[in-house]
Every structure is written in structure tokens, then in C-alpha cells.
Amino acid sequence: MKKFQSYINGTWIDSSTGEIIVVDNPATEEIVGEVACASNEDVDLAVEAAKKSFLKRDLVDMHPMERSKLMRSIAIELRNISKEAGKLLCYENGKLLSGAEYEFQDAANYFDYYGGLTDKLEGSTIPVSKGVVDYTILEPYGVSAHIIPWNYPISMIGRSLACSIATGNSTVIKTPELAPLAATSYFAEALEKAGIPKGTVNIICGYGEKTGSYLVSHPDVNHIAFTGSVETGKKILHAAADKAIPAVVELGGKSAGIVYPDADLDKVVNSAKTAIFGVAGQICSAMSRLVVHKSVKDELVDKLVNLTKSLKVGAGYEKGVDCTPVISKNQLEKVEGYARSGIQAGAEAVAGGKKIEGKGYFFESTVLDGVKQDMTVAREEIFGPVLSIIEYEDSDEAIQIANDTDYGLAAGVFTKNIDQATEASNKLEAGQIYVNSWFTGSIATPFGGYKQSGYSREKGQQALKSYLQVKNVGIQL
């Protein structure tokens, strides 16, 4: 069994306590490897290394163009390892091999994108009075702690770390205990080969309730970036509030797509394939609800049922597979419980509804028809391949149903009428609206939530504001 270590101050080390975390393959339940479980002492070392690097101004005093070159070098290294590293990510996470390889490409894209902005972080001059020169400076916070989710670990590291480096912060990354191996090994090696200054980036693993909690509460952490559940996000925000430091939080979702009578139903089905059945539905902005006009509901349900029948289930590294396992046994039981509760509440499982017997954590691609908005399955995030169909009669009702949620990460509109699309987009309460195709954004488009889906924005130029603070300087001449 291969053992992986923490990456602290430019060195790979074991846990000071010798504790390890064993990682299995969700498709086979076989052990993939083990990783050092960072103790509080290890967290202290990582934060200390990041703080020393920041105080030495390793990134802050680096010429913006040199910082840009460093980031582009990281991008090159990530692309170079995407095939080999993607295989390990596929085995530990369970997702399609193509998707696992793409995560390294995606992370590289973030470093290229933000690497092009290092010399464009500009302050401003402010007219005050005669004899006074007043201006602003954008400065990093210091040590930034990043808590990474297990569904897209490499992409999410790229998303936040690229912003952190571009703005001059030093970083401690806690990888997810369910899928830490590719990050603590290949990602760290890419940083090392690119020439990242020692201590600037540190990568550890540990359980959220222990290692993660200790990290975000650490007195020398000045900034937090977190992606994950609402429950954990609130704990993160409490820790940030106790220290009066900023936190970038992207939390859960229960995103609805409204299907109008004139919608191209094949586009809805194509979106469902990737947006709820892809990655086993383990997507924060998954299209987990479809609010469908009664005139087209039956036709759409038939098409969705046919889609589920066509999807091949298997390990992500097997040829021709569409649907992969959920991440763990606990997640499988959670998804099964939600599906069962929906059926018991009166919804009909027209497709799926059960776990697949045998090795691995597989759950059937599930379509629940006849869902009512007051059902648990329509209100809580499942994080699995379960799609709820809710019928409506008029447009105002559709908007009301879509917005009747504690979440607000994403929403969608399917219609051929551009006026209807823009009107609905204006009324939907979500951070991003997809029209006629789910996931229409890119790394250049801001991403974040309304309501309990969080605040601040990741991606795009907007994201950099969350990693910088403003200093005002007034000079009496």
C-alpha cells in the first residue's frame, strides 16, 4: 500500500503522531493508499511556515510579472501530470477517468487565468484637499486557510490557491479525508517543480471536525476559504467571527430548473445527464429539481426515464461508463435514505430509487415524479443522483417553487423565448442562472450563492477582491 505525506515548508513529512487515514476506491471498496493525518502540531508547523513566508514577503515583494511566470509554471506542471495524476484521483474519488484528468487541466487554467491578473491589482488616487495626496493600496491578508471538498478536490484547490498566490497570500490547504491522495502528492510535486518558495503553500490532510476545526481557529490564520455543506460552513463562519477575520464560503444547493411549455426537452435531458447523474450527482450546483409545466411533464419524464436506461454504470476507469459511484458507504446510505423518504411521502420512483447490490457504492440514477415542494426530498441537499420532478401550471407558480428553498447557488431556465428567459433570470434568487444548458459558465464567470448557499464569489476577476484588503494612505505635502 502506498503511503502519502503532508507537504509542509517544502518537505514531505509523516504525522507527528503517526496517525494515518486509509482511502478506498468507491467502485471496488479496495484500499488505494493511506495518507498522514495531520495532528495539531502538524497544523502549527504548516501555519508557522506560511506565516514566516508571508512575513519574509516571498510573494508580496516578488515582481508581479515574476509572480505571473511562477503561476504559469505551475500550470505547465499540472498539465504535464494530468494523465498520471488523474488516474490516482479517479481511483480515490470514483469519478470518470476523463473527469479526473480534466481536474488537473482545470486547475492549470485557473493558474493561467489569475497569472494574467497579477499586474492588474490596482489601487486608486482620491482627491481630498489641497496639499494632500491620498491613495489606496490592495494588500493580501496573510495566512489563508483553505478547506477543500472531496467532489472536485483538484479543481477546487486550483480555484482558491491561484487567487491566493496571485494576491500574495501564503496558504495552508486541508485536503478532504475521502480524496486527499492526488492533492498531497501530485499537486504538491507540481508546486515544488514550478519553484514555489518554501512555506508559501502547505498541503495537509485530516478530519474536518479535528484538523479542519483547529486550522480555521488557529490564531495565526488571517483568512479562510471554504467549500462544503451549510452545517460545516456555519461552524467555519463562527470560527471566523470569533477572530473577526474574513471567510469566503461556497455552501450547498438545491437548484431548480424551470421547464417552460416551449422548452426544447432534449436540452433538458442533456443537462440532466451531466448536471444530476454525472459525478453521481455529487455537485453543489446540481440540477436536483425540475419544475415542469404540466403540459410537457409526462413527455419529459418519459425522456428522462429513457435516459436513465441508457446510462452505463461502472468504475470511472472502465470504458463507456456514464455513471460512477458515490464517494463512500455513508454517502450511499444517505442518498438511499433520501430516496426512500421521497417515496414514502408519496413521490413515485419512475426510474431508480435503490442502491445497486454488490461491491462499490453505486446508486441507481433516480427520477422521482409527483414530488411536492414540502417533501424533504425537495428541500434538502441530497448530493446524489436523485432528480425531483415538480409540476406547475403558471409562470408565477414556477418562480415561487424554484425560489422556495433555503439555498440559492444556481437555477436554470429552459425556454425558446428570450424575453421569458430574461424575466425569469431576473426573478430567480440564485448566484448563477443557466439558460437552456446547465453549467454555461467558465473560470472567468463569478460563482457563488444567495441565502444559505454562501456569499462572496469565486472564479472570475470578482474573486480576487475576497483575497485582498484595502489600505488608504494620506500624505500631507
Contact yes or no for 164/234 (Cβ under 8 A)? no
Three-state DSSP at 258 gives strand
Q: Which residues contact 305 (CB under 8 A, 6 or more apart)?
A: 350, 351, 367
State yes or no: is 250 an active-site residue.
yes
Q: Max alpha carbon distance in the chain (Å)?
A: 79
Spot the catalytic one: 250, 364, 381, 458. Answer: 250
318 DSSP 8-state letter: S
Could you give the CA distance from residue 238 to residue 246 in angstroms, rounded to a whole number? 11
Contact yes or no for 217/72 (Cβ under 8 A)? no
For 41, counting Cβ atoms within 10 Å of its Cβ (0-12 exposed, 13-18 middle, 19+ buried), the class is: exposed
Sign, CA dihedral 168-172-178-181, equals positive
Could you give the CA distance from residue 358 to residue 338 in angstroms, rounded to a whole number? 20
458 DSSP 8-state letter: B
Helix ranges (H only) for 345-417 are: 376-379, 395-403
Could you give the CA distance from residue 197 to residue 204 in angstroms, rounded to a whole number? 17
The residue ranges of DSSP E strands in 316-409, in sequence order, are 348-351, 366-369, 386-392
Spot the catalytic one: 284, 336, 364, 381. Answer: 284
147 DSSP 8-state letter: E
Task: For residue 397, give Cα distances in angstroms to 129, 186, 287, 411, 425.
Answer: 55, 49, 19, 15, 15
CA 153, 155, 157 angle in degrees (round to 5)? 65
Hey, which residues are catalytic here? Answer: 250, 284
